[in-house]
A and B are shown apart, each in its own frame.
Chain A
């Protein structure tokens, strides 16, 4: 299963590397969101620096939506979905592979966005251990829930508008927990952040497990 998942993730990441959609469209979009936040919130009065953690995670959410749409758009044409079913790959492995690829893309985007926050919002990074663990767990949770809902909405005519409506409230706890944990890390009181990290962990475990179980039936019949 792990081998199949690695094959799947490798395929998705190769597509992204070759098509350059992630680097040429999603990454610039992420930076654009950071700039737009600066327009919306006055950078001179410190609002931006204080809200940096929340804005960072909102930007990550927006990018995650794009990455998820993209991950299932590549399976929508040329009968790719049927080929996927015929390939003999375990559906659980397909889920883990797609989620893994999305998580990898999000990880790169988070590094980029983090650099953007440091440079544009003038916010120094503290508590590296807490920040890294928060990012990893939040990314796994987002990728797992996103892959599940991406597959649910894939193939529907209204998928572009339906996916945000379905996904954003479900990942609301991730936004909340990741923001609080990052704030605790940046504010120099990492002790406050660890309960939130546990919550992120629980979310990630639940949605990975649910996705592994649910992806088979989902892939088989929602063609």
Chain B
């Protein structure tokens, strides 16, 4: 019961922080010198991307904990899955907001920039992981498979990032997307604090979603475990009373 109160407080905090963020981002902060109003997208884009890494980090960590014999427990598999699901949603939103920003600032929806390409691959990699999670079979075998797949994806990420980075730098010596000025603008004052607030608000939102998704997974797991036994018991009782 107390944990539920805690979750409610967390959820309320997340919603309140998002409301303040909306006011700060849309009303209080000034438009950027270079990007005008498009800069406001960054107040959600950067937090989304940050949380995406947190989510996939938790998935990788939980998968390692599942694979280590000393810490092996079902809950780590469920936590990895819950975090990956939210991570994929946040990755999709990161791509979407980035794409809208790119259209207004660069004039194109998509560009083969290293960071964009890596994020797109990250999205597909974890979609595959979620697809694997949805397969049926013995639960322990499934959990082990999930954990190995999550690690195989995680060790791939640095290689993907490196290769895509080289790919772009070798072929596009000078490009319109000068990362230093566009992606790391020198920001200050209310803009800086709004960006920080955005990250805080989205971390709260992520934590709240994760707790709920994890609880749901635990319950679904318990239903799966107990469902058949209970059905058999009920059927048996039915037959016995019918025979009498």
Contacts from A to B (Cβ < 8 Å): 145, 148-149, 152-153, 155-158, 162, 165-166, 169-170, 172-173, 176-177, 180, 192, 195-196, 199, 202-203, 206-207, 210, 214, 217-218, 221-223
Contact = CB atoms under 8 A, between A and B. Distances in A.
Contact of B145 (A170, A180, A192, A218): A218
B242 interface: no
Given A162-B131, A165-B131, A177 B121 contact: no
Contacts of B148: 148, 152, 214, 217-218
Interface stretch (B1-9, B31-39, B157-165): B157-165
A221 B149 contact: no
Interface stretch (B41-49, B133-141, B183-191, B209-217): B133-141
B124 interface: yes
Contacts of A180: 166-167, 170
A218 B148 CA distance: 8
B135 A162 contact: yes
Interface in B92-120: none
Given A152-B132, A169-B128, A192-B170, A217 B159 contact: no
B141 A157 contact: no
Interface of B: 67, 121, 124-125, 127-129, 131-132, 135-138, 140-142, 144-145, 148-149, 151-153, 155-156, 159-160, 162-164, 166-167, 170
Nearest to B143: A221
Given A162-B135, A169-B121, A195 B166 contact: yes
A42 B159 CA distance: 33
B242 to A, nearest CB: 36
24 contacts: A149-B152, A152-B145, A152-B149, A162-B128, A165-B131, A166-B131, A169-B121, A169-B124, A169-B125, A172-B160, A173-B163, A176-B163, A177-B163, A180-B166, A180-B170, A195-B166, A207-B152, A214-B151, A217-B148, A221-B141, A222-B141, A222-B144, A222-B145, A223-B141
B230 to A, nearest CB: 26
A176 B164 contact: yes
Nearest to B136: A157
Contacts of A156: 135, 137
A199 B166 CA distance: 10
Given A162-B135, A222-B137, A203 B159 contact: yes
Contacts of A218: 144-145, 148
B138 A176 contact: no
Given A170-B156, A218-B144, 12 more contacts: A149-B149, A152-B145, A166-B132, A176-B164, A195-B166, A203-B159, A207-B152, A214-B148, A214-B152, A217-B67, A218-B148, A222-B141
Nearest to B69: A217
* Among A148, A155, A166, A176: residue with most chain B CB under 10 A: A166
A90 to B, nearest CB: 18
A206 B135 CA distance: 27
B153 A170 contact: yes
A173 to B, nearest CB: 4
Contacts of B128: 162, 165-166, 169
Nearest to A202: B159
Given A156-B137, A218-B145, A165 B67 contact: no
Contacts of B131: 158, 162, 165-166
Contacts of B135: 156-158, 162
Nearest to B127: A165
A211 B167 CA distance: 27
B136 A199 contact: no
Contacts of A162: 128, 131-132, 135
Contacts of A145: 152
